[in-house]
Structure formats: C-alpha cells, structure tokens
Chains A and B, each alone.
Chain A
Amino acid sequence: MARKVVVTGLGATTPIGGDVPTLWQNALKGVSGVRRLTDDWVEQFDLPVKIAARLTVPAEEVLSRVEMKRMDPSTQYGVIAAREAWKDAGIENVDHDRLAVAFATGIGGVWTLLNGWDTLKEKGPRRVLPMTVPMLMPNGVAAAVSLDLGARAGAHTPVSACASGTEAMSVGQELIRSGKADVVMVGGAEAAIHPMPIAAFASMQALSKRNDDPEAASRPYDIDRDGFVMGEGAGALVLEAEEHALARGARIYAELAGTSVTADAYHITAPDPEGLGATRALKAAMFDARVQPEDIVHVNAHATSTPVGDKPEYTALKAALGSHVDNVGVSATKSQMGHLLGASGAVEAVLTVLAVHERMAPATINLDNQDPEIPLDVVTTARDLPEGDIVALSNSFGFGGHNAVIVIRSR
C-alpha cells in the first residue's frame, strides 16, 4: 500500500489576494483582478495588449529591501507563498534531510534576464550584476525556497509551461510515496508581466485584446472569449506523509490522492482537438487515486479563455467522466485572476483543496453566453459541495502538449 499524501499547509500571493484567506474570500465572491496596465512601456512599445492581472499586495510590502534586490520577482512571489504555507502547516520539528521542495515555474527569471541584457547593451559587461545568474535560472525559486526552509532532500523544478504548477504536485507526491521525503513544499511561481513576453504571447494570438474592458477580458467558456489574460503570482502547498501529519496532530485539509502527467505528442502549441492526451491524464489520475468518475463532484478546470483551448478540455472531461460529467460543478478560476502560467496549477491546487475542505466551489465570472459546444455545468456563483466523502480534480495543460491532473479527496 502506497504512503498516503496529505495537504497540511497553504500559501498564495495572487491578483485577487495577497494571502490564502483573501484569495479564498474573493474566489467565492467572484471578483476580477485584471486591470489596464499603466506602465510606461505599454505606450512606449504600443503593445497590442494593454491589460494584465497583477498582485494585489506587491512583494515589496512583504519582503525586506535586501531580499527584493537578491531575488527575481518570480522567486520573490514563490518565497512569499511558501512562507505562508509553512507557517500555516505549523511544523515545529522536522528532519531537514527528509524535507524536499518541488517548486515550478513556466518561464523563470525573465525580468532578470532581460534587465541584464539591457544593462549589457547600455552600460557594458562590467555593470551586469554578479547575482544575475542565480536570479535568472529557472531553479532559482526552488533553490530559494529550499534555502529558506533548510530543505535538504532535494529541490526540484518541474518546467512544463502552463502545466508546471500541477506537475510539481506530482513530483511532491512521488517523493513522499517513494520514501525519499516525509514533507515536501510544492508550488509554482511566475512573474512574466514584462513587455517582451506580452509581445510574444500576443504575437501568437494567445492573449485577449479586450483592452477597454479589462475585468471582462478573461471569460472562459463564453462565446465571445478572445484569449487569456496574463497574471502573476505564486501558490504553495505543504504535502506531508499521512503518518507524519497524524503523528504531530496536524490539521489536514485534504488528501492528494492521485496525480498524473501525460504528453500529447501532437503539436508544439495546439491542443489535440480530440483531447486524447488530456483524457489519458484524467483517467490515469483517477486510477492513481483509485476513484471512479461517479466520485467526482467538482473540477477546477484549466480553462484559459482561448477560443481553441477551452473546448478540448470539455471533450476530455466527457471522455473520462462519461455521462457523469453533467453532474460535476466546474469552476474556471482564471476568469478572476487571469492565467498565472507556471504558477496557475499551484494556485488552482490551493483553491481545489479549499473547495473540498470547505465544501464550496469557487465562482466563474464573465460567463454571459455559454459556448453551446461546451455544455458544462459551470459554477457561476459559489456553490455548496455535498457532505460525505468527496473528490475533486484540477487540470493543467501547457504548450508542448503537457497535461497534468491532480485528484483531491476529502478527509
């Protein structure tokens, strides 16, 4: 019998809340964190996309000046979320050789990389700061969190574009199941609201151009959706071997009962229109958790609000859950906070754990005219989930054909 993995701590900093209690309150209420960007570079480059979802609590309000200088924004966000999760878990004694980190990012230290390039061009090589490399490397977040916690059982960095945060859950689960760690800080962080990534995503027609109505721009499943909105932030969860959590009398939010990761091997960016890779991921995750489609009561969908992306996820859910898909309340929380790329799976895992723990599915906003080709039961106002044993899923898919699914079971 595999070791059970439970969730005992949660942390987040997001466009709809700088900590978990605020995030959760707003996710239930249904608010938009998307705003018109006021940075000089929006006009300077005449960016076609002028909206994004920024953190509600800037990192400089949480971290010291020296920490800010020594960390890329992505690492700042990751450390903020991880500290909240660690405090929330209340672990007083831990064998640091059995404490690991699996902290994902989609892009990594893009601000540091591009600032360093600007400095090189404008001022020459001497002025490129010595901290540039440790700040730009994608493992910088995992390394900083490991250093912060004294986690010595490995610091891993799953990188699978927008599936990264969910893949981190899978890595953490495996570390505990295999006996290599007893406690793992898992999560994801992203800070890519910079003109270059915005221009690049816009160039591939992935972003919403609803510049005059930012709060309505992220609208998964709506017939008028026109792309995703870039968000930023981080989510973090403390995963713990069940016996370790029970021995210290920990508060257990839920069980991470199953995970899976698959690859489409279909196209570098387009999702398989039949959703075959996603279907396999859903089925494999449910098998891993030993649950049946009828056990599922809630799905936190990937649902980014792109015209081509939202439908294959429905196709996959229908294939994996059969007719039971009609009985499942689906929340598309990117409608509220935009798409946090490599952090999205981690923040959505936090929301899915809370949904199961609090027995309440968060709201999906901006669904005015539901796409008739996606007849899901979308949760538009926060909805009660049933009593008894319940199970929820959270999906993430990423450019490169990455599919990752987690299964959360109530305790």
Chain B
Amino acid sequence: MASNEEILAGLAEIINEETGLATDAVELDKSFTDDLDIDSISMMTIVVNAEEKFGVRIPDEEVKNLSTVGDAVNFISQAQA
C-alpha cells in the first residue's frame, strides 16, 4: 500500500516519462488539462501506466472525473485500500 506522497511521486514519474514535464511541476492542485496541458491520448497512457504501477483499475468512465492530480492520487489511494 503506497502513501499519498508515494502515489504523487509515482504519478509524477509517469507524467514525466509521457510528456517530459519536470516531476516537481506535478502538484496536487494542478489540473491535467489546464495546467499540465495533457491531452486525452496522453491521459489514457498515464492512466494505463498508473494502473500497472499501483495495481489498481481506473475505469474509463472514472477518468473524466480526475481533473486534478489530487483527484487521481485520492482515487488510486482509495482503490488500493
């Protein structure tokens, strides 16, 4: 079970790998689309990589509700519980 800090760090690595964004730019209150400029195809790639990294399932219909990095961290944390 990963802590929220570990989930944030893991997500930041995945986002960095996919988009080249610096890991410290990935903060809890940042919007994937408005702040991080992540398009829908990159978002799906990040979701699939996060599923593998954290051993969770993030249903497609749930992805649209993950507007900020914090939303994703909370969802993964709860899914792991």
Q: How far is the CB of A62 from chain B (nearest CB, A)?
A: 16
Q: How far is the CB of B1 from chain A (nearest CB, A)?
A: 22
CA distance A367 to B20 in the complex (A): 49
Chain B residues with Cβ below 8 Å from A64 are 20
B45-80 CB contacts (< 8 Å) to partner A? 45, 48, 51-52
A66 at interface (Cβ–Cβ under 8 A)?
Answer: yes
Q: How many residues of A contact B (CB 8 A)?
A: 10
Residue from the list B17, B20, B45, B51 in contact with A130, Cβ < 8 A: B45
CA distance A253 to B17 in the complex (A): 41
A290 at interface (Cβ–Cβ under 8 A)?
Answer: no
B18 at interface (Cβ–Cβ under 8 A)?
Answer: yes
B41 at interface (Cβ–Cβ under 8 A)?
Answer: yes
Tell whether, in the assembled complex, residue B48 and residue A66 are in contact, meaning their CB atoms are under 8 Å apart: no
B2 at interface (Cβ–Cβ under 8 A)?
Answer: no
Tell whether, in the assembled complex, residue A66 and residue B45 are in contact, meaning their CB atoms are under 8 Å apart: no
Tell whether, in the assembled complex, residue A126 and residue B48 are in contact, meaning their CB atoms are under 8 Å apart: yes
Tell whether, in the assembled complex, residue B17 and residue A126 are in contact, meaning their CB atoms are under 8 Å apart: no
B19 at interface (Cβ–Cβ under 8 A)?
Answer: yes
A267 at interface (Cβ–Cβ under 8 A)?
Answer: no
B44 at interface (Cβ–Cβ under 8 A)?
Answer: yes
Tell whether, in the assembled complex, residue B41 and residue A130 are in contact, meaning their CB atoms are under 8 Å apart: yes
Given A130-B45, A131-B41, A131-B45, also A66-B19 (CB < 8 A): yes
Tell whether, in the assembled complex, residue A129 and residue B20 are in contact, meaning their CB atoms are under 8 Å apart: no
Q: How far is the CB of B60 from chain A (nearest CB, A)?
A: 10
Tell whether, in the assembled complex, residue B19 and residue A129 are in contact, meaning their CB atoms are under 8 Å apart: no
Tell whether, in the assembled complex, residue A126 and residue B51 are in contact, meaning their CB atoms are under 8 Å apart: yes
Residue from the list B18, B44, B51, B52 in contact with A66, Cβ < 8 A: B18
CA distance A126 to B41 in the complex (A): 14
Tell whether, in the assembled complex, residue A127 and residue B48 are in contact, meaning their CB atoms are under 8 Å apart: yes
CA distance A126 to B44 in the complex (A): 10
- Interface residues of B toward A: which range? 10 to 19
Q: How far is the CB of A189 from chain B (nearest CB, A)?
A: 22
A69 at interface (Cβ–Cβ under 8 A)?
Answer: yes
Chain B residues with Cβ below 8 Å from A127 are 48, 52
Q: How far is the CB of A76 from chain B (nearest CB, A)?
A: 16
Chain B residues with Cβ below 8 Å from A134 are 41
Given A126-B48, A127-B48, also A66-B20 (CB < 8 A): yes
Tell whether, in the assembled complex, residue A65 and residue B41 are in contact, meaning their CB atoms are under 8 Å apart: no
B18-41 CB contacts (< 8 Å) to partner A? 18-20, 41
Q: How far is the CB of A230 from chain B (nearest CB, A)?
A: 31
Q: How far is the CB of A70 from chain B (nearest CB, A)?
A: 9
CA distance A69 to B51 in the complex (A): 19
**A48-78 contact mask (Cβ, 8 Å, vs B): 1 or 0:** 0000000000000000111001000000000
Q: Which chain B residue lies CB-closest to A131?
A: B41
Tell whether, in the assembled complex, residue B20 and residue A65 are in contact, meaning their CB atoms are under 8 Å apart: yes
Tell whether, in the assembled complex, residue B44 and residue A130 are in contact, meaning their CB atoms are under 8 Å apart: yes
Chain A residues with Cβ below 8 Å from B17 are 65, 69
A122-175 CB contacts (< 8 Å) to partner B? 126-127, 129-131, 134
CA distance A129 to B52 in the complex (A): 13
Chain A residues with Cβ below 8 Å from B20 are 64-66
* 21 cross-chain CB contacts under 8 A: A64-B20, A65-B17, A65-B20, A66-B18, A66-B19, A66-B20, A69-B17, A69-B18, A126-B48, A126-B51, A127-B48, A127-B52, A129-B45, A129-B48, A130-B41, A130-B44, A130-B45, A130-B48, A131-B41, A131-B45, A134-B41
Q: A69-B17, A129-B48 are in contact. List 19 more A-B contacts (CB 8 A).
A: A64-B20, A65-B17, A65-B20, A66-B18, A66-B19, A66-B20, A69-B18, A126-B48, A126-B51, A127-B48, A127-B52, A129-B45, A130-B41, A130-B44, A130-B45, A130-B48, A131-B41, A131-B45, A134-B41
